[in-house]
Amino acid sequence: MTGKTLVVALVALAAGAQAVAAPSRAIGHKALDACDLVPRNNLRIPDDGRSTRSGVSRARFAQVLSAAIAVYEPVFRSRGEKLIVRGLWGNPDLNASAYPGRDPIEVLERGGGSGEVDMRFRRVDIYGGLARHPEMTADGLLMVLCHEIGHHIGGLPVAGGSWSASNEGQSDYFAAAKCMRKVLEKVDNVAAASRMPVDASVRNKCMAAHQRDAKEAALCVRTSMAGLALAKVLSDLGGDGRVGFRTPDRSVAAQTDNAHPAAQCRLDTYLAGALCRVSHESDLSFESPLKGACVPERATNSSGIRPACWFNPKFYERPELLTRFF
Ligand SMILES: [Zn+2]
- Kindly give the distance from the C-alpha atom of residue 212 to the centroid of ligand 1, in angstroms, as a whole number: 32
Maximum CA pair distance of the chain? 56
Can you give the pLDDT at residue 12?
29
- Kindly give the distance from the C-alpha atom of residue 204 to the centroid of ligand 1, in angstroms, as a whole number: 30
The mean per-residue pLDDT over the stretch 194-211 comes to: 93
Our measurement of the distance from residue 62's CA atom to the centroid of its chain's CA atoms, rounded to an integer in Å, reads: 18
- Kindly give the distance from the C-alpha atom of residue 145 to the centroid of ligand 1, in angstroms, as a whole number: 10
- Kindly give the distance from the C-alpha atom of residue 54 to the centroid of ligand 1, in angstroms, as a whole number: 24
- Kindly give the distance from the C-alpha atom of residue 262 to the centroid of ligand 1, in angstroms, as a whole number: 12
- Kindly give the distance from the C-alpha atom of residue 95 to the centroid of ligand 1, in angstroms, as a whole number: 9
- Kindly give the distance from the C-alpha atom of residue 96 to the centroid of ligand 1, in angstroms, as a whole number: 8
- Kindly give the distance from the C-alpha atom of residue 168 to the centroid of ligand 1, in angstroms, as a whole number: 5
- Kindly give the distance from the C-alpha atom of residue 105 to the centroid of ligand 1, in angstroms, as a whole number: 21
Can you give the pLDDT at residue 49?
73
- Kindly give the distance from the C-alpha atom of residue 128 to the centroid of ligand 1, in angstroms, as a whole number: 17
Residue 118 above 50 pLDDT?
A: yes
Q: Which residue did the predictor score with more confidence, 47 or 154?
A: 154
- Kindly give the distance from the C-alpha atom of residue 292 to the centroid of ligand 1, in angstroms, as a whole number: 20
| CA 185 – CA 192 distance, rounded (Å) | 12
- Kindly give the distance from the C-alpha atom of residue 55 to the centroid of ligand 1, in angstroms, as a whole number: 21
The mean per-residue pLDDT over the stretch 201-230 comes to: 95
Q: Single out the residue of 141, 144, 161, 164 nearest to residue 153, CA to CA.
A: 164
- Kindly give the distance from the C-alpha atom of residue 148 to the centroid of ligand 1, in angstroms, as a whole number: 6
Can you give the pLDDT at residue 245?
96
Name the helix (H) or strand (E) containing 242.
none
Helix (H, G, I), strand (E, B) or coil at 78: helix
* Contact partners, residue 204, CB within 8 Å, separation at least 6: none
In contact, 126 and 46? CB cutoff 8 Å: no
How is the beta sheet containing 96-100 ordered, strand by strand? 35-36, 96-100, 121-127, 82-88
Q: How far is CA 279 from CA 210, 272, 294, 300, in A?
A: 11, 14, 10, 14
Residue 251 above 80 pLDDT?
A: yes
- Kindly give the distance from the C-alpha atom of residue 94 to the centroid of ligand 1, in angstroms, as a whole number: 13
C-alpha distance across the termini of the chain, in Å: 43
Which of the given ranges, 15-19, 24-28, 39-43, 135-139, has the highest pLDDT on average?
135-139
Helix (H, G, I), strand (E, B) or coil at 44: strand
- Kindly give the distance from the C-alpha atom of residue 171 to the centroid of ligand 1, in angstroms, as a whole number: 7
Q: Where are the domains of the chain?
A: 3-325
- Summarised one tens digit per residue, pLDDT across range 268-326 is 999 999 999 999 999 999 988 888 999 887 655 568 999 999 998 776 665 554 443 33
- Kindly give the distance from the C-alpha atom of residue 214 to the centroid of ligand 1, in angstroms, as a whole number: 31
| CA 130 – CA 133 distance, rounded (Å) | 5
In contact, 253 and 311? CB cutoff 8 Å: yes
- Kindly give the distance from the C-alpha atom of residue 267 to the centroid of ligand 1, in angstroms, as a whole number: 14
Stretch among 85-89, 97-101, 131-135, 234-238 having the lowest mean pLDDT: 97-101
**DSSP track, 138-198:** HHHHHHHHHHHHHHHH--SSBPSSSS--B-HHHHHHHIIIIIHHHHHTTS-HHHHHHTS--
Q: Single out the residue of 295, 291, 287, 292 nearest to residue 311, CA to CA.
A: 295
**DSSP track, 136-153:** --HHHHHHHHHHHHHHHH
The mean per-residue pLDDT over the stretch 26-47 comes to: 70
Which of the given ranges, 69-78, 100-109, 189-198, has the highest pLDDT on average?
69-78
- Summarised one tens digit per residue, pLDDT across range 125-148 is 999 999 999 999 999 999 999 999
- Kindly give the distance from the C-alpha atom of residue 256 to the centroid of ligand 1, in angstroms, as a whole number: 15
- Kindly give the distance from the C-alpha atom of residue 213 to the centroid of ligand 1, in angstroms, as a whole number: 31
In contact, 278 and 297? CB cutoff 8 Å: no
Which of the given ranges, 36-45, 53-62, 161-170, 212-221, has the highest pLDDT on average?
212-221
Q: Provide the percentage of residues in the chain whose pLDDT is more than 70.
A: 78
